Amino acid sequence: MNALLTGLNFPVSLRFAPDGRIFYTEKDTGIIRIIQQNGTLLPTPFATVNPIFNTGEAGLLGIALDPAFSSNNYAYVYYTYRDGQFYTHGHIVRYTASGNTGTSPKDIFDVTSSAPNTVYHSRPAGSEPELDDWENAPDESGRLSPERQSDSWKLRLCVGNTEQFRVRL
């Protein structure tokens, strides 16, 4: 087995675009990078998430490309940050790919830890209108992936060992 690239900064999630590019996240830096079809790492990041909380299992943990990425150019990322009271938030942002640059960041989802100075999330209050479903999940922490349910697409997010959220796209 040969390495495609070396010297990357803690890559934890990657997705293949229909055009052959590879989008990946760097857990500790908050940087989203692109590897071109020929295996070249682009020197300029796609986007940088800021602020980011990256202690232990926290950081820039997941990326997913919209099922209609070829036409809408949507890329979703999941990351953690801390607020002023030291609560950890799990957050999803949608970027629009303009060439190799992420533009127009839009907040999609946010869940807060149940206590300060922790990285674990509890079931959110039912007041979040964008939240569609919540259930126990296997340990796939940070996994972010689109999934088809009936006649619509949902973005599935797994956090921690037991929590899973589905957000309507």
Its domain, for residue 69, covers 11-126
Q: How far is residue 20's CA from residue 38's CA, in Å, rounded to a whole number?
A: 9
Residue 64 tokens read as 């997913």
Q: How far is residue 14's CA from residue 8's CA, in Å, rounded to a whole number?
A: 13
Q: Please, which residues have CB within 8 angstroms of residue 91's CB and are 6 or more apart in sequence?
A: 78, 79, 80, 81, 107, 109, 110, 111
Domain contains 106: yes
Domain contains 84: yes
Distance, CA of 42 to chain centre: 20
Domain contains 45: yes
Domain contains 131: no
- Dump strand ranges (E) for the chain: 11-16, 22-26, 31-35, 47-48, 60-65, 74-82, 88-98, 101-112, 131-136, 144-149, 152-159, 163-168
Q: Coil, strand, or helix at residue 54?
A: coil
> What predicted TM-score, i.e. pTM, was given to this entire model?
0.78
pLDDT at 6: 77
pLDDT at 124: 47
Domain contains 24: yes
Mean pLDDT in each 10-residue stretch from start to end of the chain (169 residues)? 79 92 95 95 96 89 90 93 90 94 93 77 44 40 58 63 55
pLDDT at 139: 39
Domain contains 149: no
Domain contains 161: no
Q: Coil, strand, or helix at residue 70?
A: helix
Q: What's the domain count of the chain? A: 1
Domain contains 139: no
Does residue 157 contact residue 93 with C-beta atoms inside 8 Å? no
Residue 55 tokens read as 């202690």
pLDDT at 142: 53
Q: Of 107, 97, 109, whose CA–CA distance to 134 is shortest? A: 109
